[in-house]
Amino acid sequence: MERVGERSRAAAGPLTRVSHAGEGTVAGAGRDLDLRGEVCPYTFLKAKLALEGMGRGEVLRVVVDNATSAQDVPRSLTGAGQTVLGAEPLGEGVWVIVVRKEA
């Protein structure tokens, strides 16, 4: 899986980051995918691609700042055979979606 480097949101646009175990703030989340600044369908597609690079049972924490994505990503990932463990507000205008890879 391609890993996009960290960069300043102010500098080069939205941050897309995948981190590994120990860096997330949600207990049990093995990887983080920060999709703030992205919109659907890209949020779903990038989450799906991140999950493809993970092993069955691993957990991905997806952060979005788009209300449509906060609703559509969990539904789409469930439809794609994954298990959404939670989807809730992280702060004003930011949501976290925690998903376990099943297939």
Structurally, at CATH architecture level, domain 14-100 sits in 2-Layer Sandwich (3.30)
Other beta carbons less than 10 A from residue 99's beta carbon? 28
Model pLDDT for residues 49-79, shown as the tens digit of each residue: 999 999 999 999 999 999 999 999 999 999 9
What DSSP letter does each residue of the chain carry, written as one string? ---PPP--HHHHS---EEE-TTS-SSTT--EEEE-TT--TTHHHHHHHHHHHTS-TT-EEEEEE--HHHHHHHHHHHHHTT-EEEEEEEEETTEEEEEEE---
Q: Is 40 a catalytic residue?
A: yes
Tokens of 19: 């981190």
For residues 85 and 15, which has the higher predicted lDDT (pLDDT)? 85
Catalytic residue among 4, 14, 17, 40: 40
Residue 94: its pLDDT value, please?
98
